[in-house]
C-alpha cells in the first residue's frame, strides 16, 4: 500500500526535522521561561539554549551532540515492510544528516555505526483502520533516558502515591537530565505498557491537558510542584525546572498500580508525518489535530 521508498524518505525527513529544529511548543515554552526568569545565572543558561537552537535551525545541524535513539510510534494499517523501511531510513539519516551512531550491543558494547541493531530502532505499532499511516518520532538522549523509572505501587497509594513517586524521581535526577525538563508519566497497564505510555506522552503538545479531569489536575499540580523545587535550568537555580507534565493511562490489574516516568531534556525533539496511499505526505512538528 505504501511504497517502501516513500516510507524511507519520510523517516529521513522526520529525523532531520526533529534533530535540527526544536518544535514550536518547546521553543515557546523556553522563551516564556526566559521572560519570567529574574535571576542572572538561569537567564544566561536559557539564552545560551535558545541561541544554540536558532543556530542549529539556520545551519540545519543537530541541536545537541547526543542525537539520541529514535523511538517511533506508528498508527494505521501496516505490515513488516514498513518496519524494514523505517530501519533503512534510520541508517540513511545517520549518514546523511549526520547523526551520532549511538546504538551498541549491551554486552560487548560494539557499535556498528548505523543506529541499527537487535530491537533497534524501537517501533511502537497501533493498528487502525484509516486511510493514512501516521509516523511519529521521538529522539531520546541518554542524559534523560538514564533517569527513566518504573514503580509498581500499592493500589492503596492512589493518585497521591503517584504524585509522590513522580516528584521523588525528578528530585533524584536533579540536573542530570539537562533541565528544563518535560515529564512524561504513564499510569496503569502492565509494567511495559506504563513505560511505553510515559514515552508516548512526551509526543503531546506542551500546554495541553488530559481529557481526564483527574489526570489534568495531576499534570497541573505536578508542574507547579516541580517548578517550586528551584532546580532551574541546568540545575543552577531559577523559576523553571519543568516545561510541562503530560500523563497518559491504561486500565490495569486490580492488584497493581504501575507508574512509569520518562524525562526529556530541554531539547524535547519530536516530529510527525501522515503518509497517504496516493503518495502525499504531510509533516508537522506540532502534531496533527
Instruction: Going residue by residue through the chain, which has 289 residues, state the pLDDT in tens, using 9 for 90 and above.
Output: 788 999 999 999 999 999 999 999 999 999 999 999 999 999 999 999 999 999 999 999 999 999 999 999 999 998 889 999 999 999 999 999 999 999 999 999 999 999 999 999 999 999 999 999 999 999 999 999 999 999 999 999 999 999 999 999 999 999 999 999 999 999 999 999 999 999 999 999 999 999 999 999 999 999 999 999 999 999 999 999 999 999 999 999 999 999 999 999 999 999 999 999 999 999 998 887 7
Q: Say which residue the cell 532551574 belongs to.
A: 232
Handedness of CA 186, 147, 108, 97 (dihedral sign): positive
Count CB neighbours of 108 within 10 A: 7
CA distances to 25, 65, 142, 257 from 21, rounded to whole Å, are 11, 14, 19, 37
CA distance 156 to 152: 12
β-sheet with 133-140: strand ranges across: 123-127, 69-76, 133-140, 271-275, 281-284
| Grid cell for residue 61 | 545541524
Do residues 247 and 218 make contact, with C-beta atoms less than 8 angstroms apart? yes
Q: Considering the entire predicted model, what is its pTM?
A: 0.96
Q: Assign domain 4-21+63-141+269-284 one CATH number from 3.30.1330, 3.30.420, 2.40.128, 3.40.50.
A: 3.30.1330
Q: Give the start-to-end residue ranges of the domains of the chain.
A: 4-21+63-141+269-284, 143-264
Structural Rg of the chain based on CA atoms: 19
φ, ψ of residue 174 to 5 degrees: the values are 60, -130
Amino acid at each position: 500500500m505504501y511504497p517502501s521508498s516513500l516510507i524511507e524518505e519520510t523517516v529521513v525527513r522526520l529525523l532531520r526535522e526533529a534533530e535540527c529544529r526544536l518544535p514550536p511548543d518547546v521553543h515557546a515554552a523556553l522563551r516564556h521561561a526566559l521572560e519570567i526568569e529574574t535571576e542572572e545565572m538561569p537567564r544566561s543558561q536559557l539564552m545560551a539554549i535558545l541561541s544554540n537552537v536558532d543556530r542549529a535551525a539556520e545551519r540545519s545541524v543537530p541541536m545537541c551532540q547526543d542525537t539520541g535513539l529514535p523511538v517511533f510510534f506508528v498508527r494505521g494499517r501496516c505490515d513488516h515492510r514498513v518496519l524494514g523501511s523505517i530501519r533503512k531510513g534510520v541508517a540513511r539519516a545517520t549518514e546523511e544528516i549526520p547523526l551520532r551512531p549511538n546504538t551498541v550491543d549491551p554486552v560487548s558494547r560494539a557499535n556498528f555505526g548505523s543506529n541499527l541493531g537487535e530491537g533497534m530502532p524501537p517501533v511502537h505499532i497501533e493498528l487502525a483502520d484509516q486511510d493514512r499511516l501516521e509516523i511519529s518520532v521521538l529522539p531520546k538522549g541518554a542524559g534523560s533516558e538514564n533517569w527513566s523509572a518504573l514503580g509498581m505501587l500499592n493500589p492503596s497509594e492512589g493518585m497521591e502515591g503517584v504524585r509522590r513517586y513522580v516528584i521523588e524521581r525528578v528530585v533524584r535526577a536533579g540536573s542530570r537530565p539537562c533541565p528544563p525538563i518535560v515529564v512524561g508519566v504513564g499510569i496503569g497497564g502492565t509494567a511495559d505498557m506504563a513505560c511505553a505510555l510515559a514515552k508516548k506522552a512526551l509526543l503531546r503538545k506542551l500546554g495541553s491537558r488530559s481529557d481526564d479531569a483527574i489526570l489534568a489536575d495531576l499534570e497541573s499540580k505536578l508542574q507547579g510542584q516541580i517548578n517550586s523545587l528551584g532546580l532551574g535550568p541546568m540545575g543552577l537555580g531559577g523559576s523553571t525546572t519543568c516545561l510541562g507534565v503530560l500523563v497518559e493511562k491504561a486500565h490495569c490489574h486490580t492488584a497493581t498500580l504501575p507508574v512509569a516516568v520518562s524525562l526529556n531534556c530541554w531539547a524535547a525533539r519530536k516530529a510527525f508525518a501522515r503518509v497517504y496511499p496516493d503518495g502525499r505526505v504531510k509533516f508537522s512538528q506540532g502534531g496533527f489535530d
